[in-house]
Amino acid sequence: MTPRLYIGTAGLSVWYSDDLGETLHRFWGTSGMYSETRVWALASHPERPDELLAGTDSGIYRLDIPAAKWTHLPSEMDSLCIWSVARSPHDPDLILAGTRPPAIFRSTDGAKTWERVKAPLPETCPAVLRPRVTRILFDPDDPDLVFAGLEIGGVWRSTDGGKSFENASAGLVSEDIHDVAVVRNGSRLIYATTNMGLHVSNDDGRSWEVKPLDSPSQYTRGITPRADGSGFVLLGNGDGPPGSWGKLMVSRDHGAHWEDAGLPGKLESSAWVVATNPTDPKLIFAATALGQYFRSQDGGESWTALPRRLTETRALAWIPT
């Protein structure tokens, strides 16, 4: 069957497509989530194929995919904006969520209950006043290693499965972290995207260096390895949030070199987020900050512009049906 694409927007709730993005449909309030919800994050797990988690401006929600119903999961995060949600690839019941104001919460029972994680995150910053945890990432091989990125507040690392975090920002040119990715090239490379460029660490975040891009702007957003471990990585680039132009960049050598991925047409805002899935690494979706959408069915070698445009887009996910 055709996979289902999900799009999280900042003010129009979640949309979905059952025809690879050719047509889009909105979840209305009767589905259990207010239809003007701001959705910052979407998270799925291959061992929970019938559910999708969403981080929103009113708490965390779980979608019962067969029933097309959202359920609000009450927690201490209900009064916060949930900017990131991550499920451990090693345990579908282990979930971490990051918020604005900045905090990280941990669940070990599939989002039924939560506890606040020990992490001395900064409480204020000049640009966005209160930082937000924009990304949480479990290492795909080491169940104890987790990374988190703060906009604005640097990179943080956990070596105990997300029970506690320590700062891991030495060498960053900017602590305005947008995304974090783990790439394997025989060793472990950690990438962090910022407003002032792409950074790489060869020592699990103990030190960082900038990777200059061949682009008029070094602003970078989402960074996503293709879900086959091949070293093929996609990177969002543009002139800011939301920006007035953008391009999706690609590396075929684990992030050592980058070139334009060739999205068709004119991008009217920064390339923002990419969705991939190990079920079919050849199927990839991409979105700009202001809701232009693209599809590749050959692993990112060529792209099709999708016909519908929405609004500010923060999250993409696709799930096999």
Cα–Cα distance measured from residue 157 to residue 164, given in angstroms and rounded to the nearest whole number: 8
Choosing from 211, 239, 273, the residue where a domain stops is: 211
Q: Residue 121's pLDDT is what?
A: 94
Q: What is the mean pLDDT of residues 128-138?
A: 95
Please tell me whether residues 244 and 191 are part of one structural domain.
no
pLDDT at 45 over 90: yes
Residues 183 and 260 in one domain: no
Q: Which residues of 88-119 are buried (b: 16+ CB within 10 A; e: fewer)?
A: bbeeeebbbbbbbebbbbbbbebbeebeebeb
pLDDT of 267-299, one tens digit each?
999 999 999 999 999 999 999 999 999 999 999
Cis before 143? omega within 30: no
Q: What is the pLDDT of residue 1?
A: 74
For residue 321, what pLDDT band results from cuts at 50, 70 and 90?
confident
Backbone angles phi, psi at 77, to 5 degrees: -80, 0
Domain boundary among 176, 192, 211: 211
Give me the mean pLDDT over the 100-115 stretch.
97
315 is a domain residue: yes
Distance, in Å, from the CA atom of 25 to the CA atom of 159, rounded to the nearest integer, reads 41
Query: How confident is the model over 94-120, as a mean pLDDT?
Result: 97
Domain of 35?
Answer: 1-42+217-321
Are residues 206 and 229 located together in one domain of the fold? no
Query: Over 90: is that where the pLDDT of 57 sits?
Result: yes
Confidence band for 127, pLDDT divided at 50, 70 and 90: confident
- My answer on whether 138 and 10 are in the same domain is no
Judge if 301 and 248 occupy the same domain.
Answer: yes
Percentage of the chain beyond pLDDT 70 is 100
- Domain tally, the chain: 2
* Mean of pLDDT over the chain: 96
In a domain, 49, yes or no: no
Q: What is the pTM of this model?
A: 0.96
Shared domain for 101 and 122, answered yes or no, is yes
Q: Tell me the per-residue pLDDT of 191-232, one tens digit each, with 9 for 90 and over.
A: 999 999 999 999 999 999 999 999 999 999 999 999 999 999
Spell out the residues 6+ positions from residue 63 whose beta carbon is closer than 8 angstroms to its own.
14, 51, 52, 53, 54, 69, 70, 71
Q: So what's the pLDDT on residue 274?
A: 98
| pLDDT for the residue numbered 223 | 98
Report, as an integer, the average pLDDT of 286-314: 97
* Domain endpoint, select from 211, 235, 270: 211
